[in-house]
Structure 1
Amino acid sequence: MRLQFPYAEVEIESTGAIHDENQRRAALDLVAATGPTDILVLCHGWNNDIPRARRLYARLTDNMAGVRPAVPSAASRSLLVIGVLWPSIRWSDEDEVAGGGAGIGDEATALTEAIAERIEDPTRAALLTRLVPKLTGSAQARREFLDALREQVPTAPAALTSGSGTGGSGVGVDEDPPPAAFLDGDPEEVFAEAGGPEIDLGLPERLGGAAGFGFGFGLGLDDVLRRARGLLNITTYYTMKDRAGQVGSGGIAALLSALATAAPRARLHLAGHSFGARAVSAAAVRHPSLHSCTLLQGAFSHHAFAVNFNGRGDNGLFRPLLASGKLTGPVLITHTVNDRAVGLAYAAASRLARHAAAGLGDENDPYGGLGRNGALKTPEAVQPGELLDVGGAYRFQAGRVHNLRADSFIRSHGDVGGRQTAYALFGAISSA
């Protein structure tokens, strides 16, 4: 693939190991041959589709080259790009989130296809597929289906520390563990709670029954197969969340260390989309020195960088990135109400149920997403800003978080390769 900037690719396995040592060497050789002032590591998000990831990288970097004349100080920077490729899994379609997707009579097919796409273990996939025809009439089948999903959900990540900060500010814990109801609740109640909004299910208060409210990815449709697809999506979310952390803290962090050794004077930058934003955040916490980190429609918690996000003194898992003071440039975060995949699906995936539909996924929802609301309860966040058109005046600050509302330019979760995004990203790279 030909890009506007010197380019290399590095594949990383789900365990976080670099897949091919030759790719790593080739990237380092390219660095040595070109002597860049800046190295940008890009990381794609959901959907195990390498051609799609490459198209994103090509569109974004083509637009970066196009907007370069309008970016202050960009002319003095020489940029090299490394594209990370990792085995992400398809997570959620926006039509599913909005209540569309499979038509009447197609739910069994849609669920079977989703199992094939999202369950990588052939034995577990075969079991789940065999259970699909029985789900509507058998409580035992629903129990077995949920048990098989529960076995796949990873454990919560360990706390991270930067070794600095006061009052616990250098320690981060998982602000978004798998919901207890999903892991331990009665299967019939869990299936019921994966239904649509404003359905009086008569559930216990711990599952959201206080207001008779349940919801899942099949918003407004009371159908057990659609509910099963919602539970599958929740499982995929937590699988992807864990994998992105492994890819970032393992392979991307190791790659950054090698790049820093090969080019000690070059400034390092990270940019990730969706779950790739989580991967680069995990890498950033591990690496001792970065210039900028750009998170495009991040599919993780808006409290990931927060201080005392729950009122009990806990900080977000990636809080150490800011507490350590290791950034010599800014953090950029794009967010928009147009991102239904994060705005609704993320909220559903992270909590299974809530007592009211009002405020679902927004800044008042404790389970909202970064790509919907930006980084909240984060002292380093400057006054809320906007994603600007090309030529607009940014004032990026080192070590600060810039939440850029992107309603005018980002139309959906995957629409992150445009000129305005490229202009902001190049601005962060070129910032003093």
Structure 2
Amino acid sequence: MAGISTRKFTIMAVLWPSKKFAEKDLIPSGAAGAESPVTNDLLRQELEEMKGVFDDPHADAVLDKAKLLVPKLEDSPKVRREFTDLLRSILPKETSVDIDASSDFLKLPGDEVINRLSKPVPIVESKPIPSGGAAAIGGDPSASMGGAAGLIQFFSGIKSGVLNLLNYLTYYEMKERSGIVGSTGVNQVLKKILAQNPDIKTHLIGHSFGGRLVTAAAAGSEGRLPVKVSTMTLLQAAFSHYGFSEHYDGVNDGFFRRVIINKTVTGPIVISCTRNDKAVGKMYPLASLIAGQIAAALGDKNDKYGGIGRNGAQKTPEASEGILLNLNSQDPYQFQPGKLYNLNSDAVIKDHSDICHNEIAYAIFNAVAKT
């Protein structure tokens, strides 16, 4: 490939304490199918499997206390408040902003959180379209979903609301951790590397919460300046589709908008997105439930609460729509510096972690070649 063949590359990996869930964790014990009730045993099992996920030193003891409350959850709003408050007590202070109803989740009475998460989710069906429309919410529970945050099939009822609560807790922990690791740790490492090697070009690639991590690394934070990089590729990234947006609600910009305004990424930003990503695709409908906003098409590109790995960057003037090309495509990528490219990947990526494809590498190398 022109612009690539004569270059030398060094690959550096970021090892950080992320939590990847297998398919059996996304559909706990394989038991939470559309016709299978959520049982007390299932909830206790989920709480047990959450041990080791949270940073709070008392987290495992709190999870044990929560297990004792499970049999009383259906019958007592007071117990539901106690249960939710217990679990929220082990979460870190919110530092990583997202459009995900976190403020509602942290402030609402605990029983109200569970009540909202207990409501059924409308099933929205649509045919695949290049721009990434609404997925079939509540699709085949046997489909492999990869590992964003233990996100699962939706059902109605108090116990299902509790199960949704556990999934949102894990999402929140991973959101915070990836943002902190990126904006503080990786940001500083990149600056040191570039200070010693000012002529090298840096290309960031992140999958799932790793997408948030690398974006936060480039963006920096209060007290930590951004770091200039050459390209960024976000593979099924787990943050809001309004992350890079301009005035997504008519007033406010997305929380990573400064990456675009400050031209932190000098080359292209490539984004894979697909309706097949059930993990990211179902996280943001949880936020809609928590916010009490039941839309007709939960989690799609027209919903306030949608994921970039599902829909691409929305309400972002610098973004354009395209598809993930195969190696023999007659119409090559026309990537330009400073632009974002939402590459619909329905034909290639079949679930959240299905990213090891030649087509992905081809897109990355095409972006790199433009720098």
TM-score bracket, normalised by the shorter chain, equals 0.7 to 0.9
CA contact 1:241–1:275 (8 Å) conserved in 2 = yes
Task: Determine the structure 1 residue equivalent to 2:207.
Answer: 273
Higher helix share: 1
Q: Provide the aligned length of Structure 1 versus Structure 2.
A: 329
Structure 1 counterpart of 2:118, from 159, 173, 195 = 195
Q: Report deviation, 1:118.
A: 3.6
CA offset digits 1:192-249 (Å, max 9, x no partner): 21124269xxxxxxxxxxxxxxx99552342x33321211211221221111110101
Task: Determine the structure 1 residue equivalent to 2:353.
Answer: 414
Task: Determine the structure 2 residue equivalent to 1:358.
Answer: 296
Determine the C-alpha separation between the residues in 1 that align with 2:198 and 2:182: 21
Work out which of the two has the higher radius of gyration on C-alpha atoms and give 1 or 2: 1
Task: Determine the structure 2 residue equivalent to 1:186.
Answer: 109
Gaps of 5+ in 1: 1-70, 159-173, 200-214
CA offset digits 1:69-111 (Å, max 9, x no partner): xx33220211110011101134695984799644544523443
1:316 is aligned to 2:254: yes
CA contact 1:98–1:219 (8 Å) conserved in 2 = no
Alpha carbons of 1:101 and 1:374: their partners in 2 closer, same or farther (altered >3 Å)? farther
CA contact 1:178–1:238 (8 Å) conserved in 2 = no
CA contact 2:54–2:91 (8 Å) conserved in 1 = no
Letter in 2 for 1:241: K
Letter in 2 for 1:111: E
CA offset digits 1:111-169 (Å, max 9, x no partner): 333433544522222222232233234433322110012223444437xxxxxxxxxxx
CA contact 2:101–2:290 (8 Å) conserved in 1 = no
Alpha carbons of 1:95 and 1:361: their partners in 2 closer, same or farther (altered >3 Å)? farther
1:233 is aligned to 2:167: yes
Matches for 1:144-293 after TM superposition, within 5 Å: 144-157=82-95, 174-176=97-99, 178-197=101-120, 217-222=152-157, 224-286=158-220, 287-293=226-232
Task: Determine the structure 2 residue equivalent to 1:130.
Answer: 68
Task: Determine the structure 1 residue equivalent to 2:305.
Answer: 367
1:141 is aligned to 2:79: yes
Indicate the SS of the match to 1:402: strand
Determine the C-alpha separation between the residues in 2 that align with 1:389 and 1:354: 41
Task: Determine the structure 2 residue equivalent to 1:386.
Answer: 323
Q: TM-score, normalised by structure 1?
A: 0.70
Task: Determine the structure 1 residue equivalent to 2:146.
Answer: none
CA offset digits 1:368-414 (Å, max 9, x no partner): 000010001111113x1101012431111111101100000000001
Determine the C-alpha separation between the residues in 2 that align with 1:254 and 1:198: 42
Task: Determine the structure 1 residue equivalent to 2:266.
Answer: 328
Matches for 1:6-155 after TM superposition, within 5 Å: 71-90=1-20, 96=26, 101-102=31-32, 103-104=36-37, 105=39, 106-116=41-51, 118-120=53-55, 121-155=59-93
Indicate the SS of the match to 1:341: helix
Letter in 1 for 2:299: G
Q: Report deviation, 1:259.
A: 1.5
Alpha carbons of 1:217 and 1:195: their partners in 2 closer, same or farther (altered >3 Å)? farther
Determine the C-alpha separation between the residues in 1 that align with 2:244 and 2:28: 28
CA contact 2:271–2:340 (8 Å) conserved in 1 = yes
Alpha carbons of 1:95 and 1:148: their partners in 2 closer, same or farther (altered >3 Å)? closer
Letter in 2 for 1:330: P
Determine the C-alpha separation between the residues in 2 that align with 1:354 and 1:100: 29
Determine the C-alpha separation between the residues in 2 that align with 1:350 and 1:91: 23
Q: Report deviation, 1:417.
A: 1.5
Determine the C-alpha separation between the residues in 2 that align with 1:180 and 1:285: 22
Q: Report deviation, 1:357.
A: 5.0
Letter in 2 for 1:335: C
Determine the C-alpha separation between the residues in 2 that align with 1:343 and 1:99: 21
Identity of aligned residues (%): 37
Structure 1 counterpart of 2:286, from 348, 365, 382 = 348
Q: Report deviation, 1:426.
A: 1.7
Alpha carbons of 1:324 and 1:419: their partners in 2 closer, same or farther (altered >3 Å)? same
CA contact 1:291–1:329 (8 Å) conserved in 2 = yes
